Amino acid sequence: MAQYILALDQGTTSSRAIVFDQEGNIRASAQKEFRQIFPRPGWVEHDALEIWSTQSGVAQEAITRAGLRAGDIAAIGITNQRETVVLWDRRTGEPVHHAVVWQDRRTAAFCDTLKAQGHEPTFQQKTGLILDAYFSGTKVRWLLDNVEGARERAERGELAFGTVDSWLVYKLTGGELHITDATNASRTLLYNIHTGDWDDELLGLLGVPRALLPEVRSSSEVYGPTAEGLFGSRIPIAGIAGDQQAAAFGQACLERGMAKNTYGTGCFMLMNTADEAVPSHNKLLTTVAWQLPDAGGQGQRTYALEGSIFVAGAVVQWLRDGLGIIRSSGEVEALATSVPSSEGVFLVPAFVGLGAPYWDSYARGTLVGLTRGTKAAHIARAALEAIAYQSAELLTAMGQDSGAPLKELRVDGGASLNNLLMQFQADILGVPVVRPKVTETTALGAAYLAGLAVDYWQGTEEITRQWQMDRTFEPQMDPGEREHRMNRWRRAVERSRAWEEAEQVEAAPA
């Protein structure tokens, strides 16, 4: 019997592959960064073929590093950067344009047009999403209207659209499967989270032909095997979930009211709301957490409230690559700890606008409170604190929407290993922050979803039992000091807002 699960974790800045064993421990991993393409300010693109080559390469590398062969892998689970759009030729498998990344803001003006026409309530009610350039639907429409001949080819059924999970499955299966799962579908502005299907009214408003779309499947089922000759043996692909939903699953946030925060390129907080799609009154998102097959073989959807921060770990990359004040991301904690406080410096990393709870496409990064005494260390500390401040605003909004104050926050992602940040996060939240032993919970969630589908694990109870705590950070800050700091943070945010002028509003498609 095959003994391991392979998780493919396709992220915003790198592709990773991790081999997990039966206890949920990491046997081997491999990772490779790829290019970030910035054609214009506010535009972000990836080379979809580079995504594929790095992901397939690290998959083989991880299997080899584990001392295994493809036949030792029981199943593959896929988790991915969400909302990023790939458009490709069905026959050749060639992309017709660079992938347009979730961070990209080029369709902000079109979103303004749709809002002005009164369509936002329709989108919000059906999809649970804010009408924003962050999501896939307006990016698809942009590609169809700006790549020569794309709309005509799409209507003839020659092109395929997918988020990164769809693209990887298409390539892994040699073009046999064009599918997505409910979590990724729920991030497109095209999918009705209540009916569980693509929505014709939304497709019409965005001008997206149904012929482009992948089939929506559950997050945990055997979709099909990898192509002959790809890994030396055909491996079942059996789990798919967007990265934040996968992280919540990997954190065993399987009961209503449990929440996690992932500190990656962006920062994403999810709270399980069980079978209820809770509408937000605080500009959070209502989204599909995962869809598991029920006893009748139909999909049983679990929902979540989500808050999205566009720039979290990416602010540390900016300190490294943009300012050059650190040589590697790992140096930021030591530099920030070298001063006792930021001395009143606040950094609002609105490099690509602000996500929840503001949703301001025209905000830009702001550094305030500088004096002649400000050093690189103060800026580094302010950068880390900004991640925690943004997360605290999400938690407040989430508590108001759900009606249940959070008892603890489970954390994961690269920056969760930063003890200074985690302690400050607990301080500014006023609740314990709990870090698990396995912080690669995004990949672990994808592995669990795949393993459940092939009976590698027997049920969600087994997953709950496997979750193990590494460390709890207890809040130590005085409540009055906490409130004072949050007020100062909000003042800094206000100075970043609506900095860019709105582009000329586009006409809506006929």
pLDDT (tens digit per residue) in 74-105: 999 999 999 999 999 999 999 999 999 998 98
Q: Label residue 42 by pLDDT band (50, 70, 90).
A: confident
User: In this predicted structure, what is the pLDDT of residue 265?
Assistant: 81
For the cut 70, the answer to whether the pLDDT of residue 60 exceeds it is yes
Query: Coil, helix or strand for 472?
Result: strand
Higher local confidence (pLDDT), 310 or 253: 253
Whether 302 contacts 290, CB under 8 Å = yes
175 is annotated as contributing to ligand binding = no
CA angle 14, 16, 22 (to 5 degrees): 155
Which of these, 418, 312, 319, 404, lies nearest to 355 by C-alpha position?
Answer: 312
82 is annotated as contributing to ligand binding = yes
Query: What percent of the chain is predicted at pLDDT more than 70?
Result: 97
Q: Label residue 349 by pLDDT band (50, 70, 90).
A: very high
Structure-derived torsion over alpha carbons of residues 489, 492, 494, 498, reported in degrees to the nearest 10: -130
The residue-averaged pLDDT of 263-274 equals 88
Half-sphere exposure of 448 (CA within 13 A, CB side): 31
Q: Where do we find the tokens 């990164």?
A: 164
Q: How far apart are the first and last CA of the chain?
A: 56
The residue-averaged pLDDT of 171-187 equals 96
Q: Label residue 358 by pLDDT band (50, 70, 90).
A: confident
User: In this predicted structure, what is the pLDDT of residue 2?
Assistant: 60
User: In this predicted structure, what is the pLDDT of residue 156?
Assistant: 92
Whether 309 contacts 410, CB under 8 Å = no
412 is annotated as contributing to ligand binding = no
CA–CA gap between residue 229 and residue 328 (Å, rounded): 38
Q: What is the secondary structure of 222-258 as a DSSP string?
A: EEEEPPTTSSSS--EEEEEEEHHHHHHHHTT--STT-
CA–CA gap between residue 178 and residue 171 (Å, rounded): 10
80 is annotated as contributing to ligand binding = no
The full set of domain ranges for the chain reads 4-245
Reported pTM:
0.85
CA–CA gap between residue 75 and residue 6 (Å, rounded): 6
The residue-averaged pLDDT of 93-121 equals 93
Which of these, 65, 151, 77, 57, lies nearest to 442 by C-alpha position?
Answer: 77
User: In this predicted structure, what is the pLDDT of residue 438?
Assistant: 83
Q: Label residue 296 by pLDDT band (50, 70, 90).
A: low
Higher local confidence (pLDDT), 293 or 160: 160
265 is annotated as contributing to ligand binding = yes
CA–CA gap between residue 40 and residue 37 (Å, rounded): 9
How confident is the model over 403-423, as pLDDT tens digits? 877 788 999 888 888 899 999
CA–CA gap between residue 285 and residue 307 (Å, rounded): 6
CA–CA gap between residue 451 and residue 459 (Å, rounded): 9
Return the beta strands (E) in 360-437 as ranges. 366-368, 409-412, 433-436
Backbone region of residue 93 per phi and psi (left: phi > 0; alpha: psi in -120 to 50; beta: other values) = left
User: In this predicted structure, what is the pLDDT of residue 360?
Assistant: 87
Residue 251 CA: distances (Å) to CA of 36, 97, 254, 263: 29, 36, 8, 13
User: In this predicted structure, what is the pLDDT of residue 502?
Assistant: 61
Q: Where do we find the tokens 């070298």?
A: 338
Quick one: tokens of 51? 């995504």
The residue-averaged pLDDT of 133-159 equals 94
Q: Label residue 505 by pLDDT band (50, 70, 90).
A: very low
13 is annotated as contributing to ligand binding = yes
Burial class for 187, CB neighbours closer than 10 Å (0-12, 13-18, 19+): buried
The mean pLDDT value of the chain amounts to: 91
User: In this predicted structure, what is the pLDDT of residue 362?
Assistant: 87
Whether 181 contacts 219, CB under 8 Å = yes
CATH number for the segment(s) 4-245 = 3.30.420.40
127 is annotated as contributing to ligand binding = no
For the cut 60, the answer to whether the pLDDT of residue 1 exceeds it is no
Burial class for 476, CB neighbours closer than 10 Å (0-12, 13-18, 19+): exposed
The residue-averaged pLDDT of 358-386 equals 93
User: In this predicted structure, what is the pLDDT of residue 310?
Assistant: 83
Whether 119 contacts 205, CB under 8 Å = yes
For the cut 60, the answer to whether the pLDDT of residue 381 exceeds it is yes
216: which strand partners? Answer: 180
Q: Where do we find the tokens 């919540």?
A: 248
Burial class for 65, CB neighbours closer than 10 Å (0-12, 13-18, 19+): middle
Q: Label residue 312 by pLDDT band (50, 70, 90).
A: confident
14 is annotated as contributing to ligand binding = yes
Q: Where do we find the tokens 């890994």?
A: 231
Structure-derived torsion over alpha carbons of residues 101, 103, 105, 110, reported in degrees to the nearest 10: 70
